[in-house]
Amino acid sequence: MSVDSPLLELRNITKRFPGVVALKSVDLVVERGDVHVLLGENGAGKSSLVKLLAGMQQADEGELFFEGAPYQPRTPLDAFRRGIRVVHQELNLMPNLSVAENLLFEHLPRHNGFVDYPALYRRASALLAEVGLDLAPQTRVDRLGIAQMQLVEIARALCYESKLLVLDEPTATLTPREIARLFGIIKQLQAKGVTFIYISHRLNEIYEIGNRVTVLRNGQHVATRPIAELSLNEIVQMMVGRAIHEEHAFHPEVALGAEILRVTGLQRTAHDPAVSFMLRSGEILGIAGLVGSGRTENMRAIFGADRRVAGQIAVDGTPVEIRTPHDAVRHGLGLLTEDRKHQGLLLDLPLAINITLTDLNKISRFGLLRSETEAREATALVQSVQIKTPSLRQIPRNLSGGNQQKVVIAKWLFRGSRVLIFDEPTRGIDVGARREIYELLWTLAAQGKGLIVVSSDLSELLSICHRMLVFSKGTIVGELERADFDQERILALAYQEYLRP
Amino acid sequence: MTHPSEPRPAAPASTRWQRTVYFLIQDLGIAFALLLITLVFALSAPYFATSGNFLKIFVQIAINTVLAAGMTFVILIGGIDLSVGSVLALSTVVGALIMTNPALPVGLAIPLATLACMGVGALCGFINGYVAERWKVPSFIVTLGMLNIASGAARVISKNSTITGLPKSFTDFGTLIIGGVIPTIFLIAIGIIFIGWIILRFTVFGRFIVAIGTNEEAVRLSGHNPRTYKIAAFMLSGLMAGVGGMVYLLRLNVGSPIAGSGYELNAIAAVIIGGTSLSGGKGSIIGTLIGACILQVLNTGLQLLGVGDNFKPIVIGMVVVFAVIIDTYRERYLRTLELR
């Protein structure tokens, strides 16, 4: 182990998930004492990389070296032991315990086998002071606001002698004052020799804190450079890249019909900005924006899956009352969630049951199921959306991602829904099957249905949509017709609200 | 210009033979276990393989089968009903009081008592389901509360005494044995299992029960209101506790506030041994019937073998746990078969 070996080195790291390659032979070097900024669009592979470092997942190929020695964490504990701590984007606090207990959970001060509470609270107070949190250490964590929880999580990472701290979007919920304090702490620790990997969507803050920057794109390493050498524009360009995705021929011949859905002044909570837009029959409307920018949340609110405090919805120009998914479905809406397995499918029940779930009246009489009608209807749909399955008895669990998505589509076609809201329609689906899903979307649009497609894959939206809305921090910041589609402009819009100081 | 990826070669549909094997393991595996246990006792325990003994088993099995049939619905939606034993007690008290009321002619009292038993049960079940769904209280807690409430109510109504003197025509019907081996109360139990099977297999309601147990959120997002069906499942369980009370009156001819104590655990055990998963979505009512049979056969068999009353529960307890362990292996094996 030589002193001049870098702190962390990734060689040729590949990580696959069913249907997708999250990391493709990534090489990365993190120097000692750096604040190394990791950038990339949604799905570029940042989270997968963090999970590998934290020992939550293992690489399929390649090697990791930490302080010059091989590093193969199998569990988060392995990572802690080597001096690597990760502050995850999703908070991992125990809500029913006090702040102090959360901070020092792994090292509760003990006295004769009992927890030494006075000592615990003293040490916790000191840690809280360090991150500038004015909190009683006895406070239960579930009483805290989200920003406070974030700071507690950071303080927890600080209380151990760490060599490498990975911060995944630590500032997402913080106010400028808290951010300034966090940066102060990072610089202090940096001076003591701690190295940081810093992930953020807020591009303006990385100049303030970072030394070096690495850009990932589609699971591949694009570049690692000193941050001072790069302009914001150059960074964005590297993140977007030239469209390396396969171009999908757009089918423009569809004549758009009349307005089919109009949303006016939709607000999920009183603090959220109002969202308004309309959709025409035969149209594919893309919704772009970063994860957490309100895309999914607003779509769920329209569908009645989550609460909203304000907003009118009109179908075919007629105002309708939508409070629950039941209302939405009755008025011809269908929601295809991102999480197909947990929200869309009955994974262990046969295909036929999945497909007919949206409208059991159609296959029953006096409450009794008519299995022949069900089999006939389901078969027709399996053929029309081309689900590759040996039989209707197959369960979705055994199907590929693309075929699972087709089952969900078939479900809504069975119901005869006219407005279909797709959330990440091709997530976890391989390239070939994606093409088939796109064909299916075009066919549905040609039949006069209105389609809304939420996607983190910008090239996907660019190739399949007629029109695009861009969300940034809960607001619709832009609306672009197909003729005006432009990657950089859309990305700039998506970041717009986050760049405001 | 694009090259669609090679389509995955679709595996052939499963053959009739594969499906039969699957069905045997999934639905009849537990029946083999029952057969095996019965065979062992028939060979080892004196008097076990006599028609008199089987008759006894049929009689003893009836109440638990009825309760377990209702319990199956609740467990299928991922809930539990701990109140069935004391709801049964409450309904025996109510039923017995009506039947022993001198002001009522027998011809009216009996059907009235039957309706009252079922009504009391269904009402308790409805309250269980409504409270659990309306305020999102775990059914374990709600039904634990109902266990105490119904038991207390039974004591209040009966003034804490057993009620005897049921009409003779009623008790005669209860002890009737059709064809020398089939007691009427066993026939009632079988009838209920059959109806339950029809409901789960062929009705929209049954389809919802299974779908909700598998993935409630998916059902909700498909445009349905799972709450209604879940409350109905609890109502059904309560209704069966009421019917169980009626069967109790037929068999023991007394209404008692301390009837049915501990019955809920036997019912749950029968459902679990029958292969219904506590996390919901998976299970069958035929399995429940077989589970109830296994419990009773063990009970009787061990008794005939001279295992003392103190040891019996130890053995039965182990069998319940063992059954669940076996079940996890069975599930895993069925996965590998991958029926298409």
B340: closest CA of chain A, how far (Å): 4
Whether B172 maps to a domain, the answer reads: yes
d(C-alpha A187, C-alpha A196), whole Å? 10
Q: Which of B4, B221, B282 sits opposite A432 (nearest CB)?
A: B4
3-state secondary structure of A109: coil
Going by pLDDT thresholds of 50, 70 and 90, the confidence category of residue B336 is low
pLDDT at B26 over 70: no
* Nearest beta carbon to residue A369 from set B8, B203, B224: B203
| Whether residue B25 has pLDDT greater than 50 | yes
User: What mean pLDDT do residues B28-43 have?
Assistant: 88
Asked whether residue B308 is domain-assigned, the answer is: no
Q: What is the rounded end-to-end Cα distance, in angstroms, of chain B?
A: 35
On the CB side of A390, how many CA atoms lie within 13 Å of its CA? 15
Mutation site, B197, B212, B221, interface A, largest A CB count within 10 A: B221
Structural domain count, chain B: 1
Q: What is the pLDDT of residue B38?
A: 94
Identify which has the larger pLDDT, A255 or B195.
Answer: B195
Mean pLDDT of B130-153: 97
CB within 8 Å: A367 and B204:
yes
Burial of residue A84 (CB within 10 Å: 0-12, 13-18, 19+) is buried
Q: How confident is the model at residue B262 (pLDDT cuts 50, 70, 90)?
A: very high
* Residue B8, in any domain of the structure: no
A113: Cβ contacts below 8 Å, ≥ 6 apart: none
Domain layout of chain A by residue ranges: 8-240, 259-499
- Is the CB of residue B82 less than 8 Å from the CB of residue B143? yes
Say whether B223 and A344 touch across the interface (CB within 8 A).
no
A84 phi-psi bin (left φ>0, alpha ψ -120 to 50, beta other): beta
Q: Say which of B2, B4, B211 has its CB closest to residue A346.
A: B211
Average pLDDT over residues B129-139: 96
Nearest residue in B to A345, CA atom: B218
Q: Which residues of B touch A382 (CB under 8 A)?
A: none
Q: What is the pLDDT of residues A90-117, one digit of tens each?
A: 778 888 999 999 988 878 888 888 999 9
Closest residue by Cα to residue B24 from B37, B12, B33: B33
How much is the pLDDT for A177? Answer: 77
3-state secondary structure of B100: coil
Task: Identify which of B11, B207, B218 has the shortest CB distance to residue A343.
Answer: B218
Q: Would you say A487 and A286 are in contact if contact means Cβ atoms under 8 Å apart?
A: no
Residues in A closer than 8 angstroms to B6, CB to CB, are: 432
Q: How far is B239 from chain A (nearest CA, A)?
A: 20
* Cα-based distances in Å from B294 to B166, B169, B187, B239, B316: 32, 32, 18, 24, 10
**Mean pLDDT of the region B258-266:** 94
pLDDT given for residue B340 in this prediction: 46
Which tokens in the block code for residue A220? 């591949």
* CATH level 2 (architecture), domain A8-240: 3-Layer(aba) Sandwich (3.40)
Could B203 and A346 be called an inter-chain contact, meaning their C-beta atoms sit closer than 8 Å? no
Closest alpha carbon to A194 in A232, A166, A233 = A166
Q: Considering Cα of B252, then B254, then B258, then B264, what sign does the dihedral take?
A: positive
pLDDT score recorded for residue A164 = 93
> What is the per-residue pLDDT for B247?
97
Concatenate the DSSP letters of all residues of A26-37 into one string: EEEEE-TT-EEE
Q: Measured between CB atoms, does B214 come within 8 Å of chain A?
A: yes
Cβ–Cβ below 8 Å for B221 and A335: yes
ipTM of the complex: 0.88
Torsion of CA A13, A17, A19, A22, to 10 degrees: -40
Q: How far apart are CA A461 and CA A453, in angstroms?
A: 8
Contact B114, B173 (CB under 8 A): no
Q: Which CATH number belongs to the domain containing residue B205 in this structure?
A: 1.10.3470
Please tell me the distance in Å from B24's CA to the nearest CA on chain A: 17
Range of the domain at B203: 50-293
Say what the pLDDT of residue A143 is. Answer: 85
Conformation bin of residue B196: beta by default, left when phi > 0, alpha when psi is -120 to 50: alpha
Chain A residue numbers with beta carbons less than 8 Å from the beta carbon of B4 are: 432, 435-436
The answer, for B12 touching chain A at a CB cutoff of 8 Å, is yes
Which chain B positions have a beta carbon within 8 Å of A436's beta carbon? 4
* pLDDT score, position B4: 36
Token reading at A17: 């998930």
Predicted confidence band of residue B252 (pLDDT cuts 50, 70, 90): very high
Residues 6+ away with beta carbon under 8 Å from B81: B70, B71, B74, B125, B128, B139, B143, B234, B237, B238, B264
Beta carbons of B340 and A394 less than 8 Å apart:
yes
For residue B229, being part of any structural domain is answered with: yes
Extract the tokens encoding B90. Answer: 């409450």
The CB density around residue B180, as the number of other CB atoms within 10 Å, is 7
B320 and B328 in contact (C-beta within 8 Å)? no
Asked if residue B7 has pLDDT above 50, the reply is no
A259-499 belongs to which homologous superfamily? P-loop containing nucleotide triphosphate hydrolases (3.40.50.300)
Report d(CA A106, CA A85) in Å as an integer.
13
Q: Which residue has the tokens 């939709």?
A: A266
Q: Quick check: is B339 in a domain?
A: no
Residue B23: other Cβ atoms inside 10 A: 12
B215 touches chain A (CB under 8 A): yes
pLDDT beyond 60 at B2: no
Question: Which residues of A are less than 8 Å from B339 in CB distance?
Answer: 393-394
In whole angstroms, what is the distance from residue A176 CA to residue A178 CA?
A: 5
Query: H or E segment at B186?
Result: helix B184-202
Q: Are B77 and B210 in contact (CB under 8 A)?
A: no
Identify which of B8, B202, B222 has the shortest CB distance to residue A388.
Answer: B8
Q: Do A367 and B203 touch (CB under 8 A)?
A: yes
Any domain includes B314: no
Q: What is the DSSP string of A394-427?
A: --GGGS-HHHHHHHHHHHHHHHT-SEEEEESTTT
Are A8-240 and A259-499 the same fold in CATH? Answer: yes
* CA distances from residue A32 to A211, A292, A442 in whole angstroms, order as listed: 11, 32, 51
* CB-CB under 8 Å, B14 with A391: yes
Q: Measured between alpha carbons, how far is A337 from B227 in angstroms, rounded to an integer?
A: 21
- Write the pLDDT tens digit of every residue in B67-112: 999 999 999 999 999 999 999 999 999 999 999 999 999 999 999 9
Mutate to test the interface with B, among A21, A323, A391, A395 (most CBs of B within 10 A): A391
Task: Report the residue of chain A nearest B12, measured CA to CA.
Answer: A390
End-to-end Cα, chain A, rounded Å? 43
The answer to whether position B28 is within a domain reads no
Beta bridge partners of A259: A280
Burial label for A293, CB within 10 Å (0-12, 13-18, 19+), is buried
Contact at 8 Å (CB) between A8 and A425? no
Residues of chain A with pLDDT under 70: 1-3, 18-20, 42, 241-254, 430-432, 501
**CA neighbours closer than 13 Å in the CB half-sphere of residue A176:** 5
- Percent of residues, chain B, with pLDDT higher than 70: 92
Asked if A415's CB is within 8 angstroms of B204's CB, the reply is no
Tokens linked to B153: 């109510």
